[in-house]
Amino acid sequence: MKNVFCFFNKHLHLYPRYWSLFISIGVLISMQSVAWNSVSGVTKKEVKKGIKPSLAPCSPISSLTCEEINVPLPYVLNFTGSEGGLTDVNNLGTGFKMADAYSGVRNASDGTPTSGTIGYEPSRLTIAQGRLTIAANRGLGFTTSNNQINALGVGFQANGKLTFETTIINPFSGTGSEQAGLWAGLNDKTFLKLSVSANKVELRKEVNDVTSSSSPSTNPDQRITSTISGLNNQTVRLRIVLDFNTNTAEGFYSTDGVTYQNVGATYTSASNPAAINVESMALSGKTMYAGIYASKRNTTVSASVDYTFENFSVNKQLYPTVSAPYRINAGGIKRTVGSSVFNADDTYAIVPGVVANSSYTLSGVTVPELYYERRLGTKLSYYLPIANGRYTVRLHMVENYHAASGKRIFDVNLEGKTVLDNLDLFVEGGNKNKVVVIKSLETYVTDGALNIDFNASVDNAMINAIEILPSVSANQPPVITVIENKLTPVGSPFTFIVPANTFIDPENDPLTLSATLTDGKPLPSWLSFNAASRTFSGTPLSAAVYPVRLTATDGKSPAVSTEFTITASAVNRAPVVVTAAEAQPLTAGQLFSFMTGSFSDPDQGDALTYTASLASGAALPAWLLFDAQTQTFSGTAPEQATTLSVRITASDKAMATASSSFTVTVTAAPVIVACAPISTLPCEEIAVSLPF
């Protein structure tokens, strides 16, 4: 249906009484182009071009369905007006699928909402000539204010290494915190933003409405440039790189589209580097959102504050799985040495440092260019997806700059373990430019990826080439994780699946499992073990403790075992009331002590413990004491008449209980009338029966 049902995506849910009418119209009208300018208060601005009507909008962030919000990556918008999604003032598609719903109170200066989607105002959006202009509102997502308007975005899965980019034309520069740029996160409480404001570029992190207010140089949540002269008269390209392999985010900007500057370039300390740590944002594996935003915040400018965007994109860098042997020419292009191919270093350096290329005299190598090219930095990291197993990692390095010891010192870590400590290439090689230092190191991969990290303590770490080879070391036995003891009731089905990580083979060899009792005898007849599914199962018929041994072998090393017990216990039976507790009448001021009610446990030897409370569960009043050892109530009745409902409870070792309730009634003491004037006793007590 061309243009027929492309309306009401915004507020259809506000008009349920018209649903049946609209559906009928849709059935009757043929595929004609029909102009709907205004029906039941829905304006032309609210029409979605090229999007089917949404009877179940993904409230509160979009008038589209939730399925339409998430997009495949890469996702690129050029603001042609025909990219679908949320529309602008002229009903042209922006390509964005959602607007982040503000959680705070709308800024009064931003007027009343005109859209059924919270935080989305199409009247403030205009697409023209391949650009999207946002007429900024005052609302902003910052700590607890949370009233940003038109934070437009799309959804996707948070994993891998993501890059978000946009271009802003001549970004406004003012003194009222006016700003625009990229945002990425879960909502207006937890997000990253890279923005241009007052001719500065700032990367900011906020988690659950909290962001540090410390000075910029020490702020863990902020990276900001100094003032960039003339930035408001330039085309500014913004880029956020969010890497879930390292849990870091970095912000970049460019004014020529070629050279990108890191906004954290001046943050060089180990405790506060250029990248912001994003682990606390807990984004990985979730659906997150990213897009563009603009705010005029506290502007004093009376005219409209507009920001013009030229594009937006989300890209995901993939890390293809490698297999041994795999070689990298660090910092260089693909090169072949004999029969060995060293691949170009363009994929796996996740903490890249910088690359360099300079020639020098180096004898004894057939392809010296392999050592002219290099990667260096105070920190370098490689991340290579690879099958679990044992590998030999060969690192090629040459000291080509320093002519004395102690001038370059760094550590090398494999899989988080330091394998080279305080490496000095000048010492190892014997001189500058003289010897290629090759270190062969053994490592185990157990998480599906090989991590190689270089950390310098003096100058920069440096690497020329990396080789990942199948290990030629002796076979290693499986590594064991202890299994906790198990408890199951007699007569009830028992099932236990052995965790997959109970035995891990360092070489990733297939393992064969078997189970016996710890003395080597077979498992009891009621208990079976399925090695293929790693499952113990059966129904115990009597109470007993069964010590079990689980064994794994890779067929090469001696078998390894872990032991645990399966205890089959009789089914616990709850205590029972033998004698119901009886009502207790008391007189005001009376000293009392009584026992009432009795209990027993059908399980022989199961001791009971006793507690007492009001039937409501509240504590007993101060005048009513309970001795749990003797099950005795005692105290002095209060002067005021009252009635209490009391509950006594018996509990067994398994915390099964039985209870009995009774009333305690306190009545006023009788009034004694003296037989005046002859006695203080009542008159009826004066006369006595004879003989006396």
* CATH number of the domain that residue 518 is part of: 2.60.40.10
**Residue at 63 is within a domain:** no
pTM over 0.85: no
Rounded to 10 degrees, the C-alpha dihedral 48/52/56/58 comes to: -50
CA distances from 484 to 527, 565, 567 (A): 18, 8, 12
**Residue at 188 is within a domain:** yes
**Residue at 369 is within a domain:** yes
Confidence label for 587 from pLDDT (cuts 50, 70 and 90): very high
Number of domains in the chain: 5
pLDDT surpasses 50 at 27: no
Pairing assessment for the beta strands 340-344 and 326-329 based on DSSP bridges: parallel
Q: Specify the DSSP class assigned to residue 671.
A: P
Q: What does the pLDDT read at residue 408?
A: 94
Last residue within a domain, chosen from 515, 535, 569: 569
Average pLDDT of 89-107? 96
423 and 560 belong to one structural domain = no
Give the residue from 255, 170, 241, 244 showing the smallest Cα distance to 203: 241
Q: Which residue has the tokens 């406004």?
A: 172
Range among 294-298, 446-450, 567-571, 668-672 rated most confident = 294-298
Structure tokens that stand for 574 in this block:
């709850």
565 and 582 belong to one structural domain = no
CATH of the domain at 399: 2.60.120.430
350 and 381 belong to one structural domain = yes
243 and 117 belong to one structural domain = yes
Q: What does the pLDDT read at residue 474?
A: 67
Q: What does the pLDDT read at residue 259?
A: 87
Residue 190 lies in domain: 74-317
Strand partners, 351: 381
**Residue at 532 is within a domain:** yes
What CA–CA distance (Å, rounded) separates 457 from 454? 10
421 and 565 belong to one structural domain = no
pLDDT surpasses 80 at 11: no
Report the percent of the chain where pLDDT is more than 90. 65
Last residue within a domain, chosen from 545, 569, 593: 569
Average pLDDT of 366-395? 91
260 and 311 belong to one structural domain = yes
601 and 565 belong to one structural domain = no
pLDDT in tens, 261-286: 999 999 988 888 999 999 899 998 88
Q: What integer best gives the mean pLDDT of the chain? A: 87
